[in-house]
Amino acid sequence: MTKLKIIFLLTICISFCLLSSCRRVEKKQSQTKETIRVGVFDKNGDSPWCITDALEALHIDPNIKAEVIRASQIMSGELDGFDAIVFPGGSGRGETQSMGELGMEKLVKMVKEQGKAVVGICAGAYIMTETPDYPSLALNGCEAIDIEHDHRGHGLSKFSLTKEGQEIFPELKDRKISFCQYYEGPVLVPAKSGAKFIELATMLSDVHTVEDSPAYMTNKRPFVVAAQVGIGRVASFVGHPECTPGMRWMLPRMVRWTCNKELISYPKNVVRPDFFKNEIIYTKEINDLQTKYQKQLSGTKAEKLEGIEKVIELACWSSKKWIPGLLRDKNAMVRVKASWALIQLERTDAIPDLEAAVMTENDKNIKIQLKKNLKALKAILGTNS
């Protein structure tokens, strides 16, 4: 048998083993009761929105119990009782610096020898690579290139699933193109070590809006990857599904896969791949429009009502920061519109804000609408959240 045939057969074998548990997505949430304990890494308070986004996306799953963890818990052994660790967006160097060399070594050992699952998002995907001169864990079989142009741009990017990805995310199997937020994530290529990985999704967008950043670096590159490392599984998202309305369920689904757990289905109020229909690259023109509509959120009643719709339509990254405050607007219609927007954005972290708005509302009819929207917002969460 030639060397090429041996490599081919090994690749097929690895792919079959990794995907063997991915054919049971049709079961409903109520049919599984096993708790999956997940820690979302916090490098001592940085990137609070990325941490919140990850936590709230995980709360979609009724059986995932998610909480914030820190590097000290890796060293102390407290994470032995956790099934998975999620490294969110923010600063890859900051995350590895927080873990330190001993913490990084221990985490890799936990994956290889204890079967700990790890999922990285954007910066978290960076640290899972095997990149020269970059403090990384060498877990996902990839190398990050063109780091010198890391600040290349942002946008609602296009991606397509591979056949392997369709096994894990069958809800998207009939779609040639789907959309996900991208915020300067890593450009991935196979690691020089030859470590094996499976490409689950491919990025189709060419993002290079920042001056001097090269074109044709991000498109046709891996967008979601997975690998078997020892007895553990790992996965990496180059983009940010956890903060993309309609796609946030991809994070808990990926956590389930890395934990080798049953892949349950999620309801239609969160599985909404048609929420966005077009690529939106944040060029200067788009950024100017986003700024315009963000400013309208502190304008007249008409400006606020239009601004709420437009920041959602334009996939404005920071809209999540602005909408909850409008629940406390003096105008009743703005308050109702803001409560509607929270449902569209799936901002379950703002449930306390909407509860307070319901409690303090004096207009009977407005109160009824706010209550209705509060119920819909709470319905996004899994029953154990």
Q: Is the dihedral of CA 271, 273, 274, 280 positive or negative?
A: positive
Phi/psi for 25 (5° steps) reads -80, -10
Helix then strand then coil, in percent of the chain rounded to 5, is 45, 15, 40
Q: How confident is the model at residue 45 (pLDDT cuts 50, 70, 90)?
A: low
* Residues contacting 244, CB < 8 A, separation 6+: 156, 179, 180, 181, 276, 315
β-strands 84-87, 36-41 pairing: parallel
> CB of 373 within 8 A of CB of 336?
yes
Residue tagged 């939106």 (tokens): 280
If you average pLDDT over residues 225-251, what whole number do you get? 97
For 6-24, what is the mean pLDDT?
A: 47
pLDDT band at 347; cut points 50, 70, 90: very high
Whether 316 contacts 292, CB under 8 Å: no
**pLDDT grade for 24, boundaries at 50, 70 and 90:** low
- 84-131 pLDDT, tens digit each: 999 998 776 778 777 788 988 999 999 999 999 999 999 899 999 998
Q: What is the mean pLDDT of the chain?
A: 90
Task: Inform me whether the pLDDT recorded for 6 exceeds 50.
Answer: no
**pLDDT of 290-345, one tens digit each?**
999 999 999 999 999 999 999 999 999 888 788 999 999 999 999 999 999 999 99
Sorting pLDDT into bands at 50, 70 and 90, what band is 46? low
Instruction: Quote the pLDDT of residue 16.
Output: 45
Helix, coil or strand: residue 224: strand
Question: What integer is the mean pLDDT of 52-56?
Answer: 95
Q: What is the CATH number of domain 3-258?
A: 3.40.50.880
pTM: 0.91
